[in-house]
Amino acid sequence: MRKIFSFVFGLALLSLAACSNAAEPSPTPTLDPLAAQGQKVFNAHCATCHALVPETIIIGPSLYGLATRAEARVPGQSAEEYIQLSILRPGDYVVEGFSNIMIANFAKQLTNEEMNALIAFLMTLK
Ligand code: HEC
């Protein structure tokens, strides 16, 4: 009787373990809320000129991989600083092969909140 009990108990434990494995959160590709808000800002203000897929030029360069590239653009500037300055003062650093035609009044068009969300989104483009 004891053996049967421990066998059944063991089975129950096993299935419990299997269940808890299945319930473990798997990494999801969805954006955190701030970045998701930033994606909307991007779609409204930037997507007309910038693609997010590699090597696709609309009017400006593709921003695919921007967060990785941004770190090496200007010595002494972090990726976030470079990205923020690229939006607020696009003429400071002009990407090779492009002219300085990016609209320079985003400081007026975007609220601080929209700007923070936008940068959070752009920082996901590794
Ligand atoms: C009218 C078209 C246009 C719009 C709208 C526009 N951009 Fe640009 N953007 C450009 C062009 C052209 C360049 C390349 C010249 C330069 O560096 O300024 C550029 C460059 C950039 C760069 C630098 C990329 C790099 O690889 O260093 C970033 C970052 C950027 N834009 C972000 C944005 C964001 C974010 C928005 C929306 C708030 C936006 N742009 C809206 C045309 C545009």
Looking at 7-21, 84-98, 107-121, which range is the least confident one?
A: 7-21
What's the pLDDT tens digit per position in 10-21? Answer: 555 454 444 444
What is the predicted pLDDT for the residue at 69? 96
CA of 28 to the centre of ligand 1 (A): 29
How far, CA to CA in Å, does 76 sit from each of 43, 71, 79, 92, 120? Answer: 30, 9, 10, 14, 20
What is the predicted pLDDT for the residue at 20? 47
At residue 38's C-alpha, the angle toward residues 37 and 39, to 5°, is 90
What's the pLDDT tens digit per position in 22-34? Answer: 555 555 578 999 9
Q: Residue 90 and residue 66: Cα distance in Å, rounded?
A: 15
Find, among 5, 105, 125, 99, the residue nearest to 45 by Cα. 105
Q: Which residue has the tokens 């030029």?
A: 57
Pocket flag, ligand 1, residue 46 (CB < 6 Å):
yes
Task: Inform me whether the pLDDT recorded for 1 exceeds 60.
Answer: no
Pocket flag, ligand 1, residue 61 (CB < 6 Å):
yes
How far, CA to CA in Å, does 70 sit from each of 11, 64, 80, 86, 119? Answer: 54, 11, 8, 10, 12
- Average pLDDT value over all residues in the chain: 87
Provide the token pair at 11: 């089975």
Q: Report the pLDDT averaged over residues 50-66.
A: 98
Q: Which of 86, 121, 123 to mutate to test the pocket of ligand 1 (most atoms within 8 A of CB)?
A: 86
CA of 83 to the centre of ligand 1 (A): 9
What's the pLDDT tens digit per position in 108-117? Answer: 999 999 999 9
CA of 63 to the centre of ligand 1 (A): 8
